[in-house]
Amino acid sequence: MFTRRTLLGAAAALSLAAAAPMAQAEGKMYIPLISKGFQHQFWQAVKAGADKAGKDLGVDVSFEGPDNESQVDKQIDMLAAALAKKPAAIGFAALDSQAAIPLLQQAKDAGIPVIAFDSGVDSDIPVATAATDNVAAAALAADKMAELIGDEGKVAIVAHDQTSRTGVDRRDGFANRMKEAHPKIQIVAIEYGGGDQLKSTEITKAILTANPDIKGIFGTNEGSAIGVVNGVKEAGSHIVIVGYDSGKAQKDAIRDGTMAGAITQNPVGIGYETVKAAVAAAKGEPVEKKIDTGFYWYDKTNIDDPKIAAVLYD
């Protein structure tokens, strides 16, 4: 988690740079994006969208994130360093929905528009948020799970975290939909693996051991979902797995039947819309407060459909 020392250091870095000129490359507007991570293929797809927007709009874009999605302190340091360059605007996907608020407030005070992407913050500081409607998407995952297990039985959730907006919304979207629409389904465990495949694998095996009659598990992001797949394989179990995001491993698991299906976002669109909104905000133009980048369910039946294939990634 973040520390007071980290926040004070980050705040000082921004304060010291307050008089610095706007960072530019070859006279272009500079817009950095700080993501939640860099290890998953999802973030590489977001980066591809951001880079494309940078080329299309003639602005200089940078994209970075911590090594994994548990390094809140490291993400705060990256945010501070990016803001110290006095960018025209900044894109930020929060690992912790509250940890960065002091720095984001300083950005606002310095006239640097903040665009949240993928995962928002518990604040009205961002002028826009480009993201999937994660509550609705997870509710769809719950409906699909219910259909696949006969609308009754035990299921579990392996979530990536309980501090980011995406982690909370996907967990609650799934759990609340089950409670409201599928009362014969019991959620017997909600565990957090930090989006790490290995940790999520061990969590999955523990869930299966404790609940030998469980019918399904929902993994809330790429790393979580693949961890569930690996855990089920290693345990020699046969249950319904529903995932979130895409990536080669998930697509392979769906094609071979190990995973029943998953929710895919539009990561390229998230990156593109984030930069597009940042440029508009930097120019003082109006931007939509909520930019819904969409989501889709995919499984064996539609994975090769052109509309679905366009938002899947390797």
| Residue 100 near residue 78, CB atoms below 8 Å | no
Domain spans in the chain, listed from the N-terminal domain onward: 4-132+267-295, 134-264
Q: How does pLDDT run across 276-310, given as a tens digit for each residue? A: 999 999 999 999 999 999 999 999 999 999 999 99
Counting DSSP H helices and E strands in the chain, the numbers are: 11, 12
Is the domain 4-132+267-295 a CATH 3.40.50.2300 member?
A: yes
Are 115 and 129 in contact by the 8 Å Cβ rule? The answer is yes
The model's pTM: 0.84
Question: What pLDDT score was predicted for residue 23?
Answer: 45
* 4-132+267-295 and 134-264: identical CATH topology: yes
Give the pLDDT confidence score for residue 26 in this predicted structure: 54
- Where does 66-113 show beta strands of DSSP type E? 90-92
Q: Around Cβ 300, how many Cβ atoms within 10 Å?
A: 13
Phi-psi region of 113 (alpha: psi -120 to 50; beta: other; left: phi over 0): beta
- Strand locations in the chain (E): 30-34, 60-64, 90-92, 114-117, 128-131, 153-159, 185-192, 216-219, 240-244, 261-264, 290-292, 296-299
Residues 199-209: tens digit of each pLDDT: 999 999 999 99
φ, ψ at 188 (rounded to 5°): -90, -15
How would CATH label the architecture of 134-264?
A: 3-Layer(aba) Sandwich (3.40)
pLDDT in tens, 17-57: 443 334 454 578 999 999 998 878 899 999 999 999 999 99
